[in-house]
Amino acid sequence: MDGHKRQREQSAKMIEDALFELMKEKDFARITISEIAKRADVGRRTFYRLYTGKEEVLHAWFDKLCREYKDTYPPLARYDLNQIARDYFEFWYSYRKVLLLMHQCGLSEIIYGEISRVSEDIVKKRMGCEGTEGERDMRFFAYYSVGGFILLLRHWIEEGMQGKPEVYAQEVSRAILKYLCNDAYR
């Protein structure tokens, strides 16, 4: 990585950290770009070279996380709800402090919007179907699958993410499979 790119990433990280610190102290709407830049120890010009506003800082942070999620988990040999749930909740649990902070600040929709935006690509990769761009069936499956997981994540965040991720994943997959595999509901 060249020095310019490294410096840019370092400045972005300092801005992210500064924004999250300020969000602990005051209402998001009242946080100014000047406060963020000062806390991050960067100039306003540096801030605006990287972002158009404080909301974009959050969007960029989530974009980075979603790419990390996509790159962390290999394609599955078969659809395994237990494994998918475990991976999903363990990943987001590692960022629980920021997720809970955003929820507390009334910014939950950014979380769910960003995850939704990349969901089709993530599901395609996990299912080993990345090359099937535009395939209508896969798109329906991705939206169905991710929609449920986003709402489950939302529920967990609203409850304070108290339980261990592997326990929550086990409860979720058991409950889903209970109804998917029950002939009485077909």
Digit-coded pLDDT (tens) for 5-47: 999 999 999 999 999 999 999 999 999 999 999 999 999 999 9
Kindly state the average pLDDT of the residues 102-114: 92
The model's pLDDT over 127-161, given as tens digits with 9 standing for 90+, comes to: 887 665 557 888 888 888 889 999 999 999 999 99
How do residues 154-171 score in pLDDT, each as one tens digit?
Answer: 999 999 999 899 999 999
| pLDDT interval class at 119 (50, 70, 90) | confident
Q: 3-state DSSP: the chain helix, strand, coil percent, rounded to 5?
A: 75, 0, 25
Q: Read off the amino acid at residue 63.
A: D
